[in-house]
Structure 1
Amino acid sequence: MDPVWKITKIRQQLAVIDGKKAPDIVLKNARYLHSMLKQWVVGNIWILGDRIVYAGDRMPPLLEGTEIVDCTDKTIVPGYIEPHVHPFQLYHPQSFADFCGQLGTTAFISDNLSFVLSLTNKKAFSILDHLKKLPFSFYWWTRFDSQTEMEQEEEIFSNTSILEWLERSDVLLGGELTGWPKLLHGDDQMLYRMQMAKGLGKKIEGHFPGASERTLARMKLLGADGDHEAMTVEEVERRIMQGYAVTLRHSSIRPDLPHLLKGIVEKELPIFDHLMMTTDGSTPSFHEDGVMDKCIQVALDAGVSPIDAYQMASYNIACYYNMSNLHGFIATGRFASLNILQDEYHPVPESVLSKGVWLKRNGKRVHNLADVDYTAIPKFTLDFSLDSQDFQFSMPFGIELVNDVITKPYNSLITREGQLANHDECYLMLINRQGSWHVNTMIKGFATNVQGFASSYSNTGDIILIGKNKEDMIKAFEEMKAQQGGIVLVEKGEVITTIPLTIGGLLYDGSVETLMEKEKALKQALAERGYQLGDAIYTLLFLQSTHLPYIRITPKGIFDVMKNKLLLPAVMR
């Protein structure tokens, strides 16, 4: 494991203390949060390169060439940490970091699932190493399974591959445990992987929505350390009682944070030192009004004390993941990742330093994160077309959407030929990128008047087609194919709206701000055609995800999650 700072750098840092070298930046008269004392203190913060070399009362003996910033009447807090990022929600790690940095979030702990499914470890690690060069802090967790049913599961998620991820110093945990029912039913393979992670000093993150006290106790014995699925104050207490680290969620499909914090404040639970916050992979437009700054504002609005609000987005996370020596703390030796605020009641920073680089100054962007080379991700190129023979929908049952992400089986009684009427049932097809198999069924509750809809964005990267008109579905497929990936809505042979996803058919190659506008246009067009749920992007993502009840369309076929049973296999073309 390479040291964060090499010997030469450390000697230079010591030279600043000794008055033999000037620091790069001094934040003078700074009122800043001392995370260990849980107090606001006033002092001077010396920075050399990406590191705080001193924080206290003194000024440097040597100031030649130093940028001195007078922070009188300002408040400084540590850079915010997002502890549970899914950085592939149409945006990609670099674009989302570039957006978040302007709002004070300067560190991610992120999901590796999309990298694992699309790249060899060698190629994935090359991208991770490139990301590490940016003035932003990227950390990762490694998955133990695909959270769907795949033929290549054991090959992709082998013990050797998982161990290679776990041995990286920027991989902090294993999980999240979406496949926890398998553990409780005796899956020693997953338990072995958890023990590999624990043996290397990594945390284990659960995924236990609605879990009973008994289930939480059993999962704790199996090795789970934390969970982010509490939806009520009672569920927060249940996790705390069993010794879990609890991350409170505020996401596009589960915006639970306001009522959770309000309940914790009302019950006067003395647990804020043990809580973290996350936006849990929200889709782009949810972030129009913020990321971790948004969570802090929610906490302040709920009556949480300012210091506790900021600690839940910085120091608490750093302590839990054993990196408070680098993050979440304005003190000597830490990364120079700092947010300069108007005051503690306004968490959107006026200025942002990330690893000693100004990302924002006095309300203006002054730095763009450099582009990252994603060419290792295979291009979305299809060498096949669809015809009428592919559009046979003879299954006696289909998939009904209970909400954005929960499904159940239903008996479909409609005639499945030609144009469907304006009811809430549509054709649904999943087909792989090679065109070698497809799964056909019906979907109820998606929309009443969507004619042709195609998406290369899905949990596994396979193609989803939905619609009432088979010709429009084929047109949407061809348009998606022509633009080398994307989400396309077609009506009467015309493209209504599209989101191009030219990075591997999964990710948008552009700014998050532009992506937000495209996503909003898509959601508006779907709403006008009868989509009444909250987040269509999550619906696409989770149609294949077998960690949620009750029935899923997967690469193997239609799968009953509760019975762990394949109901209908995929059809070879």
Structure 2
Amino acid sequence: MYADLVLLNARIVNVFSGEVIDGSIAVKFGRIWRVGSVDDVIGDSTQIVDVGGRYVCPGFIDAHFHVESSMLTIRGIAKVIIPHGTTSIVIDPHEIANVLGIDGVKMFIEESEDIPLDVYVTIPSCVPATVGFETSGATLDLDDVKKLLSLRRVVGLGEVMDFLGVINRDPILMGKISMVRERGLRVDGHAPSLGGGLLQEYISAGVHSDHECVSGFEALEKLRCGMWIMVREGSLSKDLNRVLGHLVKAGVDLSRVMLVTDDLNPIDASKSHMNKLVRMAIECGCNPIDAIRMVTLNPALYYRLDDEIGAIAPGLKANLVVLDNLKTVNVHMTIFNGGVVARNGCLTVDIGGWSYPPKACETMNLKRLPSADDFAIKVGVERGRAIVNVIGLEEFTLYTKHLTAELNVEGGRIIPNVDDDVIQVAVVERHKATGNIGLGFVKGFGIKFGAIASSISHDSHNIVVVGSNWSDMVYAVRCIVEKGGGIVAIKGGSILEILPLPIAGLMSDLDAGEVSVKLEKLYDASKILGCRLHEPFMTLSFIALPVIPEIRLTDRGLILHDPSDKSIRFIDPVKKIIKIQ
């Protein structure tokens, strides 16, 4: 019997021993058959690829990835990340689940069949992210989790974001955790800024990992408590240098550390994926093989997939990456199930399309379109000053700061101060026609004119809009609804740019190139409006996520994290009114 594929003259990265060994690799039936000497298994029909002394390592794994954040479908994102050496992703489809429920998760699983990318699934644990603080399009209960556990490629429970529910041992949440653990599967965590006793209470409930560390000290505490750490480097939250750099300097064992992207826009995904994270880890001082382990063996071990993927050894799937070197980590070739699927940055196979059912494209259900008056925060005095709570934005992080500002009151309405960058933000419910509109103020966008809006609004994905004036905010929401979802920039009642996202109001049916062009134009439009953020639309999309500190806005109101006990509660956007006669 002869091999189907042989890679000759390879420098093989052995993630078990930590060595780089010169040799060859033989593949049969999509799996690694021989490593080392392969001359006796080369036949007339064997495909021979001479890699010319390049490095061959296991296919890269992104262990925590939200496809929906790319605004592409699974097949759309697969087309751009496979050439970067990614052969496996572990998705948490809680974005589409918040809109379409269990049907949305099943759609993702069906779409991921028969493509040259292994798509493993963690079942969304918290849909919605918090109970009683937001309105989602659907919920996932214990019965839904049980049904999803029977599906192929399910490897665990998705990030358990309701950390207060875990700490307080909410019976439904604990039932989900127990159900998954009884099957020997992993429970992914979400524990932003948790430490001390509260962290240990969270872990003791059965949570295995965390991807929310924003400092090395936080990561080290969680690592010492037995958590697996997923170091995040995405389009918005950029934690790798800060977190991994600290761990490397501390000299700790990195076998329970992984690198993940979490949320990646299509522009960044088209340029690089896990190959960039490996390069950054090496630049942080990480040993190159340790850096490769964090995107291969470590995630495979974590999700108990190491008998399938994560290394180069007989019997494992022939998911391989050929690298030019271990410094730039430039990907020369990607091999999936023993076949060459990408070479020199280009796909060599066709990935066909997949049609979403009409239900997935009919997700705008507002009670009515808002008016300008709906966006005004009204108070009981005609004229005066108002001390208001403000959402303070910070670059390159999902965290916000709780600020205050003093604004004018005119005609019984609080007037945003564009000059001081304190502008209006609103979240408009779009799933159940409740008519809910959450109102607040935000600082950090720098918008001087117009408005921007999006139907991507984690995690319940209502419509979020910010602007310098209420009339442009109204028009922005109207444009989103008319397109069935999307992102838009408005100035003076005119559309500067719009990206329709008709699939669940989250994703486009266009390819990555077309979506990226639209998104670049949206970035340009945001600059015209005065915005100074590097990622304004992803920043906008996280304003409504109540499970990340410090202050958030949902369709039900303004939410504050109490640092003393990590509780969350509603607060009034207005702290104090000063009447002027």
Same structural fold, with TM-score higher than 0.5 when normalized by the shorter chain = yes
Instruction: Determine if the alignment matches structure 1 residue 144 to structure 2 residue 158.
Output: no
Aligned pair partner of 2:439 in 435, 441, 444: 441
Range that drifts further, 148-157 or 50-59? 148-157
1:221 and 1:364 mapped to 2: Cα distance?
Answer: 46
* 1:401 partnered with 2:381: no
After TM superposition, give the deviation of residue 255 of structure 1 in Å: 1.9
SS in 1 for 2:237: coil
Return 230-239 or 194-203, whichever deviates more: 230-239
Distance 2:244 2:560 in 1: 36
Displacement of 1:277 in angstroms is: 0.8
Partner of 2:348 in structure 1?
A: 366
In terms of mean alpha carbon deviation, does 284-293 or 411-420 score higher? 411-420
Distance (whole Å) between structure 2 residues aligned to residue 111 and residue 225 of structure 1: 15
Q: After alignment, is 382-391 or 446-455 more displaced?
A: 382-391
The answer to whether structure 1 residue 427 and structure 2 residue 414 are counterparts is no
Tell me what 2:18 maps to. Answer: 38
> Paired residue for 2:456?
457
Q: Is the 8 A contact 2:214 2:242 kept in 1?
A: no
Which residue of structure 1 aligns with residue 114 of structure 2? 133
Match of 1:488, SS state, is: strand
Whole-angstrom distance in 2 between the partners of 1:76 and 1:230: 31
For the residue of structure 2 that corresponds to 1:454, the secondary structure is: strand
One of 89, 93, 97 as aligned partner of 1:112: 93
1:124-523 alignment runs, 5 A limit: 124-145=105-126, 146-148=128-130, 149=132, 156-269=139-252, 271-287=253-269, 289-375=271-357, 376-381=359-364, 384-388=368-372, 390-394=374-378, 397=388, 399-403=390-394, 405=398, 406-408=400-402, 410=404, 413-415=407-409, 422-423=418-419, 424-433=421-430, 435-445=433-443, 446-459=445-458, 460-523=460-523
1:399-447 per-residue CA deviation (whole Å, 9 max, x = no partner) reads: 4224264153646633467996633233333222365413152323133
- Structure 1 residue 314, shift from structure 2 partner: 0.5
CA distance in 2, matches of 1:330, 1:299: 21
CA separation in 1, counterparts of 2:561 and 2:243? Answer: 29
| CA distance in structure 2 between the aligned counterparts of 1:127 and 1:210, rounded to whole angstroms | 31
Relative to structure 2, which stretch is displaced further, 254-263 or 319-328? Answer: 254-263
Partner deviation per Cα, 1:162-199 (whole Å, 9 max, x = no partner): 22223334221223122112222342322222111111
What SS does the corresponding residue of 1:26 show, helix, strand or coil? Answer: strand
Return closer, same or farther for 1:197/1:440 CA change in 2, 3 Å cut-off.
Answer: closer
Say whether the 8 Å CA contact 2:454–2:537 is kept in structure 1: no
Which residue of structure 1 aligns with residue 60 of structure 2? 80
Once the two structures are TM-superposed, the CA of residue 568 in structure 1 deviates from its matched residue by 6.6
What do residues 253-273 of structure 1 show as CA deviations (whole Å, max 9, x unaligned)?
A: 33221233333333333x122
Alpha-carbon distance in structure 1 between the residues aligned to 2:473 and 2:553: 18
Q: 1:538 to 1:69 in 2, by over 3 A?
A: same
Mapped partners of 2:346, 2:136: distance in 1: 46
Residues 458 and 368 (structure 1 numbering): CA distance in 2 closer, same or farther, change over 3 Å?
farther
1:508–1:196: structure 2 CA closer, same or farther, 3 Å change rule?
A: same
Task: Classify the secondary structure of the residue corresponding to 2:166.
Answer: helix
Cα distance, 1:492–1:556 mapped onto 2, change above 3 Å? closer
SS at match of 2:335: strand
Between the two proteins, the alignment pairs up a number of residues equal to 548
The residue type equivalent to 1:147 in the other structure is A
- Equivalent AA in structure 1 for residue 453 of structure 2: A
Structure 1 position 308, deviation (Å): 1.1
TM-fit CA distance, 1:528: 4.0
In terms of mean alpha carbon deviation, does 508-517 or 214-223 score higher?
508-517
Q: Which residue is 2:546 aligned to?
A: 546
Query: What SS class does the counterpart of residue 425 from structure 2 fall into?
Result: strand
- With 201-210 and 366-375 compared, the bigger mean Cα shift is at 366-375
Q: How has the CA–CA distance of structure 1 residues 305 and 502 changed in structure 2, closer, same or farther, with 3 Å as cutoff?
A: same
Structure 1 runs not aligned, ≥5 long: 1-18
Identity %: 22
Which SS does the other structure have where 1:323 is aligned?
Answer: coil
SS at match of 2:508: coil
Q: CA deviation at 1:354?
A: 1.6
- Call closer, same or farther: CA 1:212–1:470 in 2, change over 3 Å: closer
Where does residue 577 of structure 2 map in the other structure?
A: none
* CA distance in structure 1 between the aligned counterparts of 2:250 and 2:346, rounded to whole angstroms: 41
Contact 2:14 2:21 in 1 (8 A): yes
Q: Which amino acid letter does the alignment assign opposite residue 291 of structure 2?
A: A
1:503–1:450 CA distance, 2 compared to 1 (3 A): farther
- Report SS of the residue matched to 1:98: helix
Kindly tell me: are residues 455 and 60 of structure 1, through their superposed partners in 2, closer, same or farther at Cα, counting changes over 3 Å?
same
Q: Does the Cα contact within 8 Å between 1:127 and 1:373 map onto a contact in 2?
A: no
Higher mean alpha-carbon deviation, 330-339 vs 253-262, is at: 253-262
Aligned equivalents of 1:267, 1:470: Cα separation in 2: 51
* Cα distance, 1:213 vs structure 2: 3.2
Shift of 1:210: 2.4
Instruction: Give the partner amino acid of 1:143.
Output: P
1:449 aligned partner, one-letter code = K
Distance 1:309 1:86 in 2: 22
Aligned partners of 1:382, 1:214: CA distance in 2, in Å? 43
For residues 112-136 of structure 1, the C-alpha deviation after alignment (integer angstroms, 9 at most, x for no partner) is 2023223343563243033131111
**Contact 1:497-1:525 at 8 Å conserved across structures:** yes
Q: Give the C-alpha shift of residue 60 in structure 1.
A: 4.6
Q: Structure 1 71/299 Cα, relative in aligned 2: closer, same or farther at 3 Å? A: same
Distance in 2 (alpha carbons) for counterparts of 1:114 and 1:210:
23
Q: Structure 1 residue 61: deviation in Å?
A: 4.1
Asked if 1 retains the 8 angstrom alpha-carbon contact of 2:486 and 2:498, the reply is yes
Instruction: Tell me if structure 2 keeps the 8 A contact 1:431–1:462.
Output: yes
- Alignment TM-score, normalising by the size of structure 1: 0.87
Matched residue SS, 2:349: coil
Q: Show CA shifts across 1:331-384 (max 9, x none).
A: 222222111112222322111112233222245432242223223523345685
Aligned-partner Cα distance in 2 for 1:413–1:224 = 44
Question: Which deviations, in whole Å up to 9, do the C-alpha atoms of 1:461-516 show, x marking residues without a partner?
Answer: 32223223333223323333333321111112221122221222211222334433
Q: Distance in 1 between matches of 2:372 and 2:265?
A: 34
